[in-house]
Amino acid sequence: MILDRNSTMSAAEMRQRLSDLDEKERPGLSKDDIVEFVNLMQTYEGAMYEISTKLDVLDTEFQVRFSHNPIHHMERRLKSVDSLIGKLHRKDLPVSIESVRDHIFDVAGVRVICNYRDDVYSVSRYLSDQSDIQVLRVKDYIRNPKQNGYRSLHVIYAVPVFLTSGPHYTPVEVQFRTIAMDYWASLEHQLRYKSDLPDNRLAEHSQTLLDCSRSLQNIEVQMQSIHRDISGSPQEQESDDATIRAAKSNLANGFDTGFDGPGTDSNGN
């Protein structure tokens, strides 16, 4: 199952939204720039669909071969115009096509919710091994959780989008996590960004969530052990060294996304 988390704006709607922005929000964007921006977003959307299709095919193959679907569901989203401009402002970057191409690598995003921890690494490895995509960056917050307890595997891929002008390698951020990691992250996001609780209550709930994250990790390990005993699906160690090596190799070789800019910036964004 694939869920689209936001409705993609049509080209006409995107042009209108960009045209409605005042000069402070979109300095220097000409009518031609707006047209180019709309075309760029269409390419990101194509890359998002390419990745999600590859993942759907992998999930189906697992069901046929092992009678097990590693992917519970997927969510995909394309950053809105307002969200994209807001991120450029936070990074102190000019609002331009070049800034998006060179510095923003989560314009298109897919979240892959897996049933078990092994599934996270199995699916990510088989996707990374496909010959027509490149691994640009890996951040494994499952092996190395964030201080607040957040756990997920983040991989930025470059996938070819075939247009009339030829293939354009386009970055897509894919977040792999289990069901438990996902509902924990959803609650933590609500606490951090959508609550108006006093600081002392925020601190109390944050500590509780950290404790919950550790408990969930232990529970998942036990449930994974049971699943391994009753399942014929391939087992994966909780590391993805092949994916990490591929990312380092691509960056060392100066991988070109197919746009004017480099594959990643110094901050890995």
Q: Residue 230 burial (CB < 10 Å; 0-12/13-18/19+)?
A: exposed
Residues 222-254 pLDDT 10s: 999 998 888 755 555 554 455 555 554 554 444
| Mean predicted lDDT score pLDDT of the chain | 84
pLDDT above 70: percentage of residues in the chain: 77
Residues 153-170 pLDDT 10s: 999 999 999 999 999 999
**pTM attached to this predicted model:** 0.82
Instruction: List domains and CATH numbers for the chain.
Output: 2-179+236-252 (3.30.460.10)
- Taking 60 as the threshold, does the pLDDT of residue 23 lie above it? no
- In the structure encoding, which two tokens stand for residue 96, read together? 């331009």
